[in-house]
Amino acid sequence: MELYSKTATDLAGMLRQKQCSAVEIANSVFDRMDAVEDRVKAYLTVEKESALAQAARVDEKLAAGEELPPLAGIPVAVKDNICTKGVRTTCASKILENFVPPYNATVVERLKEQDFVMTGKVNLDEFAMGGSCENSAFQKTANPHDLARVPGGSSGGSAAAVAAGEAILSLGSDTGGSIRQPSSFCGLVGLKPTYGAVSRYGLVAFASSLDQIGPLGRSVEDVAMLYRAICGRDPMDATSAALPQAAASWDLEGGVRGLRIGLPWEYFGEGVEEPVKAAVYRAVEELKKAGAEVKEISLGSADYAVSAYYIISSAEASSNLARFDGVKYGYRAPNCEGLTELYERTRSEGFGAEVKRRIMLGTFVLSSGYYDAYYKRAKRLRQRIMGEYEDAFADCDVVITPTAPSTAYKLGERVGDILKMYAGDICTVTVNIAGLPALSVPCGKDENNLPIGMQLIGPKFSEGRLFQTAHTWEKLCGGFNAIPTL
């Protein structure tokens, strides 16, 4: 088996037993990249030279007998809305096409302390606005399980790179499902942490009250290892939290006996494809056989959650993206006569259609005549959703739903149907609205051999319980880290 197809956990063990070197691991990943990247198109910037140099430093430390951190020598791809010092960070937008940050995001600094190997920066929907990775200003990323289909979004490049063997792990960001939905479409494990569990310092903001950085990988243990490396309080992010012990430690082998699982019937109704529902039900039945208790629950605000999400996220985006005006950094429209023309042309030429759509929507719902009718009502619904989850977790330990209502659809299929594209977020947005942790794990395939994801949702800072539950399922189903043939 090629090194690029192994899990981070396996590679970490092999490295310490000197069955392979960090340079050999990195070269295996870059050789794989050479073979498939022209078809997958996951990367916007490849950092081969610096990655191999870092891998060589890890090998030197190993040869000197130094004790290595858990992620030392592991190739990790970074979503291109996370700042990397000296490495281009574009947010897949023309307006930041040549932007090179002067500092690292906190998550990158924490991984540098782990001696990780950064393979490069991966594609996304522009400014993380989209669910298919088709809104990038530079290229459309393909799903390694079927190159004619989308990898999901907005962290489509993060998911495709790991699924194709072009990285062992990756970092993504999740505002309304942008880690979990691509993980579902690409057959990966993906975690959206509790809001505040991971620092957002250095993440280019989309919607600040919803955004969260998280890990993607090919096994639960891999994702848990990457999460452990990046989580925790950061003085550079006032919204980050000092984690309770349960969020930073866990026993993956603890099993699910006595675990109370809630199935919200609203997430298994019309609009969710039958193969998706069937796969999730089968997985839950296996967990029940392993000792879990299952009950049906209701999360009644689910029907309104997508509307509330797009109002809140677009309102925050219209404010956050006001900084891209051609004055300080990024693209500046040439030959402008006056400040108003500079603003207008820079933003018209620099932003793509979806970003402009959401800025206009956000500005509209914040305007004086419509604030009460839209934004204020959406904020009230947010409180109601949070209350419904609190009630649910009084009787349940974990809530399980499909991650997405469908499997990966064909490239171009939904580009002209914005409402259908937005409706694809129905299973994931309530988690961001409530600030909860959620983990997507593969639970089967449909008739086209496309992966199906199951979403595990827990109370705040219950990541350990989610990992334990997902790892139990991983053992029951025999694992799910095979790389598709390309």
* Catalytic residue annotation: 79, 154, 178
- What is the distance between the alpha carbons of residues 253 and 248, in angstroms, rounded to a whole number? 16
Structure-token pair, residue 164: 């194709």
SS3 443: strand
> Strands of 189-192's sheet, edge to edge?
43-46, 117-122, 75-79, 169-173, 213-217, 189-192, 438-445, 451-457, 398-402, 260-264, 293-297
The answer to whether 450 and 146 have CB atoms below 8 angstroms apart is: yes
- What is the distance between the alpha carbons of residues 87 and 76, in angstroms, rounded to a whole number? 15
What 8-state DSSP symbol labels residue 96?
G
Burial 200-229 (b: 16+ CB within 10 A, else e): bbbbbbbbebbbbbbbbbbbbbbbbbbbbb
Structure-token pair, residue 390: 């609190």
What 8-state DSSP symbol labels residue 170?
E
The answer to whether 33 and 46 have CB atoms below 8 angstroms apart is: yes
Which residue, among 308, 301, 300, 302, has the nearest Cα to 373 in the 3D structure?
Answer: 308
Helix (H) or strand (E) segment spanning residue 468: helix 463-477
- What is the distance between the alpha carbons of residues 434 and 345, in angstroms, rounded to a whole number? 37
